[in-house]
Amino acid sequence: MLAAAGLLTGLTATTHWACYDELEALGAVATADRVVEHLPERIITAAGVSSGIDMALRLVELLVDRLGAQAAQLMIEYDPQPPFDSGSFAKADDRTVARVVEYVRSRA
């Protein structure tokens, strides 16, 4: 939505890896970073669900303070310890990526 509104033109931004092409088509520079900040522009983007929580905690830090962000993290008991190490495109093996692509294509 930010890119479609023209707010990301020329800026680095992140989103789900399957949408990098769309992000770049709208003028942003896609990056695989989990969270990307452009504080002077008041823009922060996140790559996915857990990175969205990371971004939310960073926003609490910016808007309140570090202790408030740490308290929010504790309140939601956000202590990621995933059972698999395939949570990013760079870490996933080819079979896992193929399964995701197959699933996304079947829903299009």
pLDDT (tens digit per residue) in 47-90? 999 999 999 999 999 999 999 999 999 999 999 999 999 999 99
Strand partners of residue 38 = 43
The answer to whether residue 91 scores a pLDDT higher than 90 is yes
Report helix, strand or coil for 44.
strand
**How high is the pLDDT of residue 108?**
75
d(CA 11, CA 2) in angstroms, rounded, equals 11
d(CA 78, CA 70) in angstroms, rounded, equals 10
> Which letter does DSSP use for residue 18 in this model?
G
Query: Between 1.10.10.10, 3.40.50.880, 3.40.630.30, 3.40.50.12160, what CATH number should domain 12-107 receive?
Result: 3.40.50.880
Domain ranges of the chain: 12-107
pLDDT digits (tens, 9 = 90+) for 7-39: 999 999 999 998 999 999 999 999 999 999 999
Strand partners of residue 30 = 13
